[in-house]
Structure 1
Amino acid sequence: MSPRQKVLIVDDEPDIRELLEITLGRMKIDTFSARNLGEAQALLSRETFDLCLTDMRLPDGTGLELVQHIQQRHPQVPVAMITAYGSLETAINALKAGAFDFLTKPVDLTRLRELVSSALRLPAPGGTGIAIDRRLLGDSPPMRALRKHIDKLARSQAPVYISGESGSGKELVARLIHEQGPRASQPFIPVNCGAIPSELMESEFFGHRKGSFSGAIGDKPGLFQAAHGGTLFLDEVADLPLAMQVKLLRAIQEKAVRGVGEQQETVVDVRILCATHKDLDAEVAAERFRQDLYYRLNVIELRVPPLRERRDDIESLASHVLKRLAISTGQPAAKLHPQALEALKSYRFPGNVRELENVLERAHTLCENKQIEASDLRLAEGNCNPEGGVPDLTQIDNLEDYLENVERNLILQALEETRWNRTAAAQRLNLSFRSMRYRLKKLGLD
């Protein structure tokens, strides 16, 4: 028989301690109680715990001090903070300090049991490194730091804002945070916020009842319901219209949603991860993104480095892509000529890893004798200066061709970001759909 798991309860109110002890006892969990910060630290030095539940206000300190103490000396122990109702700022500070999650008083016992069960499923710190290494390639310092942050954030339920340029791998990072955490067995639901028509957003996110609007031929659950128990990844969250931002904020705060045509709210247990290639601070300053939603989503920011900041990884990434292409086509893997590799390393890659994959796929098709020459890469000359800045005019033979190449790359990037939704890509480029259609035809992309 495996040993029972142990939870440390820290609260100066006897009634709260007793309630938590009885509830956890019924879950077959052993509990130890402390009335203040000093008693908690003494117990932590003597016993090994699987979880700590602590009140925010203690007679001789705060729960935040206990979170910081545990982070420094007992990082394997997840901590959940118990705060007064409405103390959202306190809860967010706790999550930033490293708390696993938080509860509000009066304690909802169903929510308590869900939180405890989730925390007790956490893997040991650092135990997910091999799995992350296999998915997130590269051994440069920025990538080693990113993997370390993913491992830490997987042990939390805090909302994470994943920032980074288009094509840098933000969705992969979100998936890894989900897959290495306690929600791994539950759904991971990604949604591109920029690809959903504004009139359908409420229905897509929260669901609808049959007959609630024209075309609603049956009941349909929304994305929040689909992600219940798991993770909802809001990609390109900055593209949400302001009216939808208000509804999203309420859903996150209340942990409940109301579908179109529904009378009652449905409780949902969802971890929110979000990403955008835009500068959210600038969007808030321009009043295109609500500040209250920004603070709720951006509890912890995780930056994904662009490919130009980790040029040392290009060789291993290229090798991996070429091997994958060989397997998919059933042919021997193509080799990169040294000059082709140097060309890749000196290229700025505005489309990041996604652009590298596209460049190599095209070169793999065009090359002769399974040898990729620099000319097979067909890199845009304007982005071949590793230091950036203005393109060297002596390298531009034909201005029309150069500008056409830049236009083609920007349109392809917008199409890739919107998963080839032409309407959404046109909006991203500030073009009318008619103008977008004309340019696609002109560039041979239709």
Structure 2
Amino acid sequence: MSNAQKVLIIDDEPDIRELLEITLMRMGVESFSAYDVQSALKSLNKNDVDLILTDMRLPDGDGLQIVRHVAEKKPDTPIAVITAHGSMDLAIESLKAGAFDFVSKPIDIHKLRDLINQALKVKQESTQPEASESEQSKPLILGKSEPMIMLEKKIRKLAVSQAPVFIHGESGTGKELVARQIHKLGPRRSFPFVPVNCGAIPSELMESEFFGHKKGSFTGASEDKQGFFQAADGGTLFLDEVADLPLAMQVKLLRAIQEKKVRPIGSQHEINVDVRILSATHKNLENLVEEGLFRQDLFYRINVISLLIPPLRNRNSDIPLLCGRILSRIADTYQLPAAKLDAKAKKALDLYAFPGNVRELENILERAFAMCEEDTITEEDLNLNESSSSSISPLPSTNISSRPEGVSLEDYLMDIERNVVEQALEETRWNRTAAAKKLGITFRALRYRLKKLGLD
């Protein structure tokens, strides 16, 4: 009996069927064909297949009927649709209905082969029970609350698709972590995951950063540069804070996503790129569309599937688990004894609203870890009534305008802190106990800072 993978081709055009059959044969894959919806459904009821390729327009219906049937009856079988050129709306609708991916006519053989390889890889992995059960047993994200259990199920389901996913939620909820997990569990995991903070790129550099440039294409272009799309080729491009993209760049980004091609600045030729797009923002993108600040066509293109990350206040039963993991990580990082929360501290955290979500919890615990006595964090150490946006204590006032150009604020503040600590140590002849007293902090807090500043 043959163990070759099998593909069902559904198309009423003999030329297209022949092209697909020849392509699959050259890839060492068996295939058989159906010419309409009814013959396709009969064939699916009789045969197990590893992949389905279906045209959208069929004599007795459309490919969406088959996509929905497969999503319900054979959810582990990837199905890709073939659309007419320019039928992007139908392609997006098919992805929402559960299609793995799509390819447009006229068919690009290179793109078709990539799609087939990725889809067959997904099917092959789903039929390996030992590996599958092992993966299923590993938690993707930290939390056992109902919202996080549901989120993990969605992540696993979305990982095997190629549909663009729009991840939204409040700041600090872990949108990039979720994007990385979707990539890690999918068929693209052996290729790069490229995160891009869209709000951190100067507008005049955006086109070069996304699409690359050729040497000499503008002043300062001393060599060829690869853009984000090329860097992520074969893998995943994660557009964080996508709402911050200027309108002019949104137009170019939309074309790159739809055409799967980019043109580096100064080049006469376009480059094929194969990336999965994941995007995120904490802003309300629908409101920005209504206000004319974000293109509606781009919104529909990146928002094929929407994934909401719950805020920490809606899953406070996860706080003890998160605290344990965060405190353990901090202790390992600075090679200090682990700290534990006392009963009042645990209760205070349970009642706190966490406007900054998990990121704020991390900052609160890092500061408390440095300030606590005898490895026990109290309610006072948490200091929840004050801003928790910083993990260091206030430093002496300084003229912030004196920060050198090109030096980040974080590095600048670290230098100030290092100078203050070094000065205290020198004045006390490196007597750490005396230096801690002079600085008005605990001996543990000084040890923490010495590790953090590389002075230990």
Q: 1:201 is matched with which residue?
A: 206
Quick check: 245-254 or 132-141, which moved more? 132-141
Q: Which residue of 1 aligns with 2:453?
A: none
CA contact (8 A) 1:129 1:147 kept: no
Residue 190 in structure 1 maps to residue 192 in structure 2: no
1:71 correspondence with 2:71: yes
Q: Distance in 2 between matches of 1:102 and 1:35?
A: 18
**SS at the partner of 1:186?**
coil
**Letter in structure 1 aligned against 2:339:** A
1:265-344 matched pairs, under 5 angstroms? 265-344=270-349
Partners of 1:135 and 1:148 lie apart in 2 by 10
User: Structure 1 residues 202, 296: CA separation in 2 closer, same or farther (over 3 Å shift)?
Assistant: same
**Distance across 2 between alignment mates of 1:165 and 1:271:** 23
Q: Determine the C-alpha separation between the residues in 2 that align with 1:242 and 1:132.
A: 43
Matched, 1:12 2:12: yes
Letter of the structure 1 residue corresponding to residue 334 of structure 2: T
Count of residue pairs brought into register by the alignment? 396
Counterpart of 2:320, as a letter, is: E
Per the TM alignment, residue 131 of structure 1 is displaced from its structure 2 partner at its CA by 6.4
2:172 matched to 1:172? no
Report if the CA contact (8 A) 1:256-1:265 is conserved. Answer: yes
Aligned to 1:371: 376
Question: Does 2:228 correspond to 1:226?
Answer: no
> Could you say what secondary structure the match of 1:22 adopts?
helix
CA pair 64-157 structure 1, distance change in 2 beyond 3 A: same
Gaps of at least 5 residues in structure 1 are 381-404, 414-421, 424-432
Computing the radius of gyration from Cα coordinates, the structure with the larger value is: 2
Q: CA deviation at 1:331?
A: 3.0
Distance in 2 (alpha carbons) for counterparts of 1:139 and 1:209? 50
How far apart in 2 are the matches of 1:83 and 1:219? 35
Percent identity between the two aligned chains: 59
Q: Does 1:239 align with 2:244?
A: yes
The answer on whether the counterparts of 1:163 and 1:275 sit within 8 Å (CA) in structure 2 is yes
**Structure 1: which amino acid aligns with 2:13?**
E
Q: TM-score, normalised by structure 1?
A: 0.84
Question: What's the counterpart of residue 80 of structure 2?
Answer: 80
What SS does structure 2 have at the residue aligned with 1:3?
A: coil
Using the size of structure 2 for normalisation, the TM-score is 0.82
Instruction: Describe the SS at the equivalent of 1:41.
Output: helix
Question: Distance in 1 between the 2:349 and 2:2 partners?
Answer: 54
Letter in 1 for 2:196: V
Whole-angstrom CA distance in 1 between matches of 2:340 and 2:139: 22
Asked whether the 8 Å contact 1:10–1:36 carries over to 2, the reply is yes
Choose from 263, 266, 284 the match for 1:261: 266
Write the distance in 2 (CA, Å) between the matches of 1:145 and 1:311: 16
Distance (Å, rounded) in 2 between the aligned partners of 1:120 and 1:128: 19
Secondary structure of 2:301's match?
helix
For the residue of structure 2 that corresponds to 1:289, the secondary structure is coil
> Does the 8 Å CA contact 1:207/1:223 hold for their aligned counterparts?
yes
CA distance in 2 between counterparts of 1:130 and 1:266 reads 35
2:33 is the counterpart of 1:33: yes
Bigger Cα displacement from structure 2, 27-36 vs 232-241:
27-36
How far did residue 129 of structure 1 move? 7.9
What stretches of structure 1 move > 3 A for 4+ residues in a row? 125-135
d(CA) in 1 for partners of 2:84, 2:354:
48
In the alignment, which residue of structure 2 is the partner of 1:388? Answer: none
